[in-house]
Structure 1
Amino acid sequence: MAGQDLLHTQPRPMHWLATATAISAVVAAASLVQPPDATATTSRDARAGKPAAAAPDPSRVTFPVDCGPTRLDVVKKASGDLDGDGTTETVAVVRCHSETGTPPSGVFVLAQPTDAKAAPRVVATLLAPAQRLSVQTLALKAGAVSTELLGYSDLDVPRCCPDVHKNIKWQWRGGKFVESELPAAMGAQSV
């Protein structure tokens, strides 16, 4: 029988049509069957009854930092609902650009105005660059902002070797961000 064509094994248009119909039926049936604990999700904020806004974009913000002729760099960012109002805020760590060394950091909380086309705005300053500390890590957990900070106790300490090490947490309480120092072992995880 070698060399004989087996006519019944050749696909015909009717075979393809039957196969496509069968696959469509299986896909349609699968879309109707849901697990008992399945829930629908939407992009709406259930409490506010409006579409959920995207996290504020730090690249669209004018920060209250004077870098003179150099640019300002956003070196870390994290987003989450920090004040429990159902909207997403962004925490941005910024510093003046430098090819060498580590200039002091600023940590700012950003919010998106109700007009989604408007630029986000700074709503809180958690750490001002004038405090002369550098942010090493940034973490958001359960609405709290945690950082690991490095700095210098005085101007005589070599800039290569920071001698101040702090782990700081800010949490929204009573309508404002409250700062607390954490034990060294409970510092922020790298972001």
Structure 2
Amino acid sequence: MAGQDLLHTQPRPMHWLATATALSAVVAAASFVQPPDATATTSRNVQAGRHSSAPDPGKVTFPVTCGPNRSEVVKKASGDLDGDGTTETVAVVRCHSDTGTPPSGVYVLAHPTDPQAAPRIVAALVAPAQQLSVQSLAVKHGVIAAALLGYSDLNVPRCCPDVHKSVKWQWRDGKFIQSELPAAAGTKGA
């Protein structure tokens, strides 16, 4: 048998045509088989699918006055905050500074109604005027949690915040409700 060509090992155009036809039949049959929990796509599902990614805070002009400096997003976290199936972004914004820690603003961003527009600011959870800095930020199960640093009075050096508090915000009755988490020992005046 050495040296003999086996006819069935050399593909011919008819073999390719038969393979392509069989593959097409399998793909077509698979498109009719659906899992038992499959549902039809509605316009709401299409819209929600379009917004499965988080709003980009880099496309937003935040209401932070920085004079000659630029504003910058220093922290962000995303999740479905209001239970509508779309993803929102929480952004911590402050003025850029090479020294010190300027106060922060915390904003919730949602997708715009016009897909060509920038994300919308739908809530300001912390305003820079409150003179707080955000040490940490997280979103989990629709709850926004943050550790905030501040000052008890104007005589406290701006390098050394003496007020530390942990807060959370949760969407209820059409707005974000803030609650303070229990303070850990030694968080004030430490």
Band of TM-score, shorter chain: 0.7 to 0.9
Name the counterpart of 1:107. 106
Normalised by the length of structure 2, the TM-score is 0.75
RMSD of aligned C-alpha atoms? 3.0
Name the counterpart of 1:34. 34
Counting only pairs closer than 5 Å after superposition, residues 24-173 of structure 1 correspond to structure 2 as 24-42=24-42, 44-45=43-44, 51-52=47-48, 54=51, 56-83=55-82, 89-154=88-153, 155-157=155-157, 159=159, 161-173=160-172
Name the counterpart of 2:8. 8
Offset of 1:157 from its aligned partner? 4.2
Alpha carbons of structure 1 residues 12 and 176: separation in structure 2 relative to 1, 3 Å: closer
Offset of 1:148 from its aligned partner? 1.5
Alpha carbons of structure 1 residues 158 and 95: separation in structure 2 relative to 1, 3 Å: closer
Native 8 Å contact 2:156 2:162 kept in 1:
no
Name the counterpart of 2:20. 20
Give unmatched runs, 5+ long, in structure 2. 185-190
Offset of 1:175 from its aligned partner? 4.2
Alpha carbons of structure 1 residues 12 and 183: separation in structure 2 relative to 1, 3 Å: same
Count of aligned positions: 180
Q: What is the SS of the residue equivalent to 2:2?
A: coil
Equivalent residue letter for 2:12: R
Q: Distance in 1 between matches of 2:117 and 2:7?
A: 68
Offset of 1:110 from its aligned partner? 3.2
Q: Distance in 1 between matches of 2:84 and 2:4?
A: 76
Give unmatched runs, 5+ long, in structure 1. 186-191
Native 8 Å contact 1:45 1:86 kept in 2:
no
Equivalent residue letter for 1:71: R
Equivalent residue letter for 2:37: D
Alpha carbons of structure 1 residues 165 and 16: separation in structure 2 relative to 1, 3 Å: same
* CA displacement 1:49-81 (0-9 Å, x = unmatched): x83463544333322211111110112233445
Normalised by the length of structure 1, the TM-score is 0.75
> After TM superposition, which residue ranges in structure 1, 4 or more long, deviate above 6 angstroms?
none
Alpha carbons of structure 1 residues 41 and 156: separation in structure 2 relative to 1, 3 Å: same
Q: What is the SS of the residue equivalent to 1:145?
A: strand
Q: What is the SS of the residue equivalent to 2:28?
A: helix
Offset of 1:141 from its aligned partner? 3.5
Q: What is the SS of the residue equivalent to 1:108?
A: strand
Offset of 1:127 from its aligned partner? 0.6
Q: Distance in 1 between matches of 2:128 and 2:138?
A: 19
Q: Distance in 1 between matches of 2:7 and 2:178?
A: 81
